Amino acid sequence: MSHFYTNKTVVITGAASGMGRSYAVLLAQRGARVLLTDIDEDELCVTAELVAKYNGTLPLTMVHDVSKISQWQALAKLCKNTYDGCDILINNAGIEGAAVPVWASDMKTIKRTMDVNFYGVVQGTKTFLPLLAASPASALINVSSIFGFIGTPNASDYCASKFAVRGYTEALMVELAQVHPHIQVHLVHPGGVATDIARSERTAKFKEKFLTTPSDEMVNYVLQEVAANNPRIVYGNHARKTYWSSKLLSLSALQKMIGKGMKKLAHPDDYAKDHKGFKL
């Protein structure tokens, strides 16, 4: 892995915090040129300053809403004009979603979750495929979740987006193998990683209990597995347990296990039998 990332041009979305920041710093340490994007300009600048400590210059950054195709097109143009291409795209940006049960969710929030977590990945993948195809040794890294294996309470929109990323990327792996097999495609399923994705008051208990794996540890593992060309990467708190449970348990047994584990984290008002979501 020591030379795999040297002089590679890497585009990282969601680089203002969490795993995105870890990707930026750890890749800079490995000699990569990083182009960083995020919707949060202030924290993106903080990440850029951390990267500059390792290579002496501030990396290229762009304020970027991954749900906007026009901004993806501008990003690809910037990458092409500045670096004459892209070797690795990391579709890392994501949001937590509604954090309520189905009957308490609203369509605006569901749509935003899908626009960022799924369509952001789709638009980034399609926009950058020409650049990745032109690179002699390239990689696409799409971030799903362990919630791309199981449906969990209070995360139906988030699960839907991450299941969608999984299906989309697994199909793409087969397709690209027929035409551009030199493009490595990787599907990442993080477990409970200590990031800022869970920001709402409703998810505070979940964050405290489950989001415990340091983001640098998670990203170091991902970079190791990408260099080894492992297509599916499962790591982080409860990650492998969740993966194997999804494979080995019946759906009814899986539901019982998940329900028991999540029961103490639910907000009582959301599970009232007379909740307005059950009324016409």
Residue 212, pLDDT score: 82
Task: Pick the catalytic residue from 5, 83, 119, 158.
Answer: 158
**What is the secondary structure of 90-147 as a DSSP string?**
EE--------S-GGG--HHHHHHHHHHHTHHHHHHHHHHHHHHHHSSSEEEEEE--GG
Residue 267, pLDDT score: 83
Is residue 4 in some structural domain?
no
Is residue 140 in some structural domain?
yes
Is residue 120 in some structural domain?
yes
- Sheet of 9-12: strand order equals 60-63, 33-38, 9-12, 88-91, 138-143, 183-190, 232-235
Buried b (16+ CB within 10 A) or exposed e, 230-242: eeebbbbbbbeeb
In whole angstroms, what separates CA 224 from the centre of its chain? 17
Rounded Cα distance between 35 and 49, Å, is: 13
Is residue 230 in some structural domain?
yes
Is residue 204 in some structural domain?
yes
Measured CA to CA in angstroms, residue 160 lies from 66, 110, 111, 212, 260 at distances of 18, 9, 11, 23, 21
Residue 158 bears catalytic tag: yes
Residue 169, pLDDT score: 98
Give the CATH number of the domain where residue 65 resides.
Answer: 3.40.50.720
Residue 205, pLDDT score: 62
Residue 107, pLDDT score: 96
Is residue 37 in some structural domain?
yes
Measured CA to CA in angstroms, residue 128 lies from 38, 74, 96, 179, 248 at distances of 17, 11, 25, 16, 36
Q: What is the mean pLDDT of each run of 10 residues along the chain (280 residues)?
A: 88 97 97 97 97 92 98 98 98 94 96 98 98 98 97 94 98 98 98 71 62 92 98 95 95 91 79 93
Is residue 179 in some structural domain?
yes
Q: How many domains does the chain have?
A: 1
Range of the domain at 176: 9-278
Is residue 106 in some structural domain?
yes
